[in-house]
Amino acid sequence: MPELPELQAVAEGLTTALAGIEIVGVTVDSPAVLTSADPPLEALVGRHIRGVERRGKHLLVDADGLTLVVHLMSAGRIGLAERTGRRPSRWVSLRLHLAGDLDLRLRERSTRRRARVTLLRSDRLDTHPHLARLGPDPMGLAPEVWRERLATPPGVLHTALRQGRRVAGIGRCYASEIMWAARLAPLMRTASLDDASCERLAAAADLVLGRALERARTHITTDLPDREKRLTVVHGHYGEPCVRCGSVLARIGFNDYELVYCPQCQTNGRRYADRHMSRLLR
């Protein structure tokens, strides 16, 4: 799933490539992708793209008073491609046709199509159900703001870090990396975060996301790759030695993903049981 660094890099790359370019047509290849009817998508035709901005995990395409809000979810990707006469692949769900034979395409290589786009008047962005409730960006956030955002309402750290209404833009990968860097236990209660933990958390978020953003900018310009090329130390490294202490990294298995942590650095040697839930009980 693309998170803050990758989305920020593609927003910057698309802005550089597309600012001032005219939208000459729109094709909806998968009608379920569109969640709004007014204004109609055709209202984009004839307008010029002013830029692409990231807010949390949303991308906002600004086109002369209208804004296309794109939420890619796990498998959605956005990218610029040359327009050809051929039918696009079945994974493509929306195309903005641009002057100069370019298409800005939304694709989703998954049988569960969850990416969504909403077209709003730019002065009505606060009516978007997600954008209106989005918390602040995690980079540069003061330790006391971290505490305030995570502790109320109380929650479990690894979940709270990924809730956009608290702090926007973090997903599973960078939540794991940040908790490892801050030496915090994934299942700790957020109400018990003390001053020292919040200071470590703020520093870890700046470091982890700052490095990832720098790296993303080197290989992402106008297209989000299907698989992220990330440098991680815990996410995806179950069973390998911790690069800080050498202990074998452990994991908590959930139904459709796993969370990797270092029992030495993060949980005082404690190992968590898996948290698979029966589908019948959910």
DSSP letters spanning 151-187 = HSS--BHHHHTT-TTTSSS--HHHHHHHHHHTT--TT
Chain-centroid distance, C-alpha 217? 15
CA distance to 95, 235, 261, 276, per residue, from 240 (Å):
42, 11, 11, 22
By residue count, the chain amounts to 282
**Rounded to whole angstroms, how far apart are CA atoms 44 and 70?**
15
Name the residue nearer to Zn ion (CB basis): 96 or 252: 252
Name the residue nearer to Zn ion (CB basis): 190 or 266: 266
- Greatest distance between any 2 Cα atoms in the chain: 61
Name the residue nearer to Zn ion (CB basis): 118 or 266: 266
Q: Closest distance between Zn ion and the C-beta of residue 249, in Å?
A: 8
Q: Closest distance between Zn ion and the C-beta of residue 265, in Å?
A: 3
**Rounded to whole angstroms, how far apart are CA atoms 193 and 59?**
31
Q: Closest distance between Zn ion and the C-beta of residue 248, in Å?
A: 9
Q: Closest distance between Zn ion and the C-beta of residue 247, in Å?
A: 5
CB-based burial of residue 33 (10 Å sphere; 0-12 exposed, 13-18 middle, 19+ buried)? buried
Name the residue nearer to Zn ion (CB basis): 221 or 247: 247
Under 8 Å CB-to-CB from 39, ≥6 apart: which residues?
66, 119, 120, 121
Q: Smallest Cα–Cα separation from 212: which of 183, 238, 177?
A: 177
Q: Closest distance between Zn ion and the C-beta of residue 157, in Å?
A: 17
Q: Is 196 in the site for Zn ion (CB under 5 A)?
A: no
Name the residue nearer to Zn ion (CB basis): 134 or 262: 262
Backbone angles phi, psi at 256, to 5 degrees: -125, 15
Name the residue nearer to Zn ion (CB basis): 15 or 247: 247
Q: Closest distance between Zn ion and the C-beta of residue 268, in Å?
A: 11
CB 137 within 8 A of CB 109: no
Instruction: State the binding string over 230-249 for Zn ion (x if CB under 5 A, else -).
Output: ------------x-xx-x--
Q: Closest distance between Zn ion and the C-beta of residue 263, in Å?
A: 8
Name the residue nearer to Zn ion (CB basis): 145 or 207: 207
Q: Which residue is nearest to Zn ion (CB)?
A: 242
CA distance to 80, 91, 247, per residue, from 259 (Å):
33, 29, 16
Instruction: State the binding string over 117-156 for Zn ion (x if CB under 5 A, else -).
Output: ----------------------------------------
Instruction: State the binding string over 248-267 for Zn ion (x if CB under 5 A, else -).
Output: --------------x-xx--
Binding residues for Zn ion, how many (CB under 5 A)? Answer: 7
Name the residue nearer to Zn ion (CB basis): 7 or 252: 252
**Strand (E) or helix (H) holding 98:** strand 92-98
Q: Closest distance between Zn ion and the C-beta of residue 179, in Å?
A: 12
Q: Interface residues with Zn ion (CB under 5 A)?
A: 242, 244-245, 247, 262, 264-265
